[in-house]
A and B are shown apart, each in its own frame.
Chain A
């Protein structure tokens, strides 16, 4: 049964008699206090702004001017090898007035947003090369092709973007991610990595403070 642990002023009487309930309750209270002190014991200094989940769990890589000038993308690689692909803050599309207004996954030979990848072995995933087209983002002015940057299997595209393209403008590095790709072989990733740059190098190159 789910119980809501209230603080000591509210006791819910059930079928048990009053005195049993009280003894149990003070035991419970003691246990709760012990638990609370344990819970907070590890904190130490809580930083004002802790690292984000992305920063803790992923290593950030970037690729700049990929196939065309201004086409800057990020590749966040998780410890398990999966790569999250998205638009880097300096992508040329963000410079257009009004930002990105539309995204279309129907590029190349198939619509990437209708993939049905299933099972642990990721059946039916589309195989991608680094320059395989992923989607097309459009602004009032122009449209730009976004590419995979990573050789592997396309596990997922962020179909939320279709209805909410503004996520790309507001949080391209989180909810506005574009796709998740799984490199098929470690050797593929090692080769891929050669064309990528680290966060530090990216910052230096673009002279941007992130």
Chain B
């Protein structure tokens, strides 16, 4: 409240008069609370260099509440001091020995400029400016406050001193609100107003971190002698504030503000049109172990387009399963999720559709996307649907050692729910357990290929987790039956494409 009456120096009578004419019931409550505090304790703390709001915290019986927010420190001070003392205005600018300026609404910003605010709403306005710089769109927020450990230590020292002197007093027995919580009480409502947002434990967090200005410069840690002295003081209760039991800090803290939004998710299905086979892949240099990574660099196209639309920090790509690097993903596409960290805004469905079109129309045609949309917390359940129980559909180009005959087509198509046994394929045996897995080939269909008597197109629908390549070439007889054993000749697989990944919704 900017029009709060400033105390006339040395004139106690003017105070209450000023109140009567301008005050509302909030300030009056605060005034009355101030006058009711134990004057001896107040005087002691003021002379030690404890700030006005901390005095309220430590000495008051009543709960520390937001009414204090609108009363300036200097006004508070004049209410706290008994009538016959001068308003010690020279001490106004010194940093509180307990809260280090936090509750005095004083801090150093990133440019090391000192920022002072008279009241909670002024402080909230400064914070709002800094929050706006981060660029987030939000309608609700959660507030987190971090303060240096020194504050807790210094407070402990002050309370010890008070206990030593005023042990039996009732006001000393109640639980004291921490500096962190006190700040939240003071600024939460003004922040809600100046940010134009509600407060809740939401997906958007504003973090206020106070850190000591001269952390490196000052000898921050106690010496052993100091620690011992502090321990004995704690046991005995000291009647004086020894200089060694707390850390004297001369400068207000540095305040840094960080905003973080919980990850948001987008779902869709992707297609992979590139078949990344390099002929030189199998020329082995003995340093390279393991088969070609199934990481598909091209899929970064999808996340790479969504991230800027969200103004996020980073993204993660999750897919419901994966295909080998030399296998294309066609047909229905494979379900995926894009998780975006710390997004500043959520793109509209319209922008998502535009991104989808942009990717699909791109010249290189490596990747395609469909059904790109924003998805909420059900996203993980959706992904899990693509797991073990589901079926996959493939198309393979197969070569056999003799010409394809009609009877071959019939015999293959007639096999339904064919059970096969697959030992762990040699190509993955180095990193998977040696097991024999039973799998089902639900159905197969053969299409001849024009102009090639030894080749045919094989469509098959199999249980999830079936190794298709090994089913065709037999993997040295470790998959039985195999295409070769069914047809009675050698069979090889030339190319493989995934044509359908069935999920619950399709």
Contact = CB atoms under 8 A, between A and B. Distances in A.
Given A4-B443, A79-B284, A156 B434 contact: yes
A79 B426 CA distance: 10
19 contacts: A5-B445, A36-B447, A40-B449, A43-B397, A46-B452, A50-B494, A57-B282, A57-B427, A58-B282, A59-B282, A79-B281, A80-B290, A80-B427, A80-B430, A81-B430, A119-B433, A122-B434, A174-B490, A193-B286
B18 interface: no
Nearest to B429: A82
Contacts of A49: 399
A120 interface: yes
B134 to A, nearest CB: 44
B459 interface: yes
Contacts of B391: 2
A95 interface: no
A38 interface: yes
Interface string A122-139: 100000000000000000
A203 interface: no
Given A38-B330, A155-B434, 4 more contacts: A2-B443, A50-B492, A80-B289, A81-B289
A2 B418 CA distance: 14
Interface string B287-322: 111111000000000000000000000000000000
Contacts of B290: 79-81
Pick the 4 closest A-B CB pairs, nearest first.
A175-B477, A53-B473, A80-B430, A2-B442
B433 A120 contact: yes
Tell which of B281, B290, B426, B432 has the most Cβ of chain A within 10 Å.
B426
Interface in B431-456: 431-434, 442-443, 445, 447, 449, 452, 454-455
Interface in A21-63: 31, 35-36, 38-40, 42-43, 46, 48-54, 56-59
Nearest to B434: A117
B494 A46 contact: yes
Interface residues of A, number: 50
Given A40-B449, A52-B490, A79-B281, A180 B330 contact: no
Contacts of B433: 118-120
B338 interface: no
A171 to B, nearest CB: 8
Nearest to A177: B476
Given A39-B497, A46-B455, A56 B282 contact: yes
B426 A180 contact: yes
B494 A35 contact: no
A177 to B, nearest CB: 5
Interface string A79-94: 1111010000000000
B430 A182 contact: yes
Contacts of A80: 289-291, 427-431
A79 B282 contact: yes
B492 A77 contact: no
A60 to B, nearest CB: 11
A7 to B, nearest CB: 10
Given A46-B494, A120-B433, A186-B286, A167 B330 contact: no
A38 B331 CA distance: 10
Contacts of A46: 397, 399, 449, 452, 455, 494
Nearest to A174: B476
Interface in B481-497: 490, 492-495, 497
A11 to B, nearest CB: 16
Given A46-B452, A117-B434, A167-B477, A82 B426 contact: yes
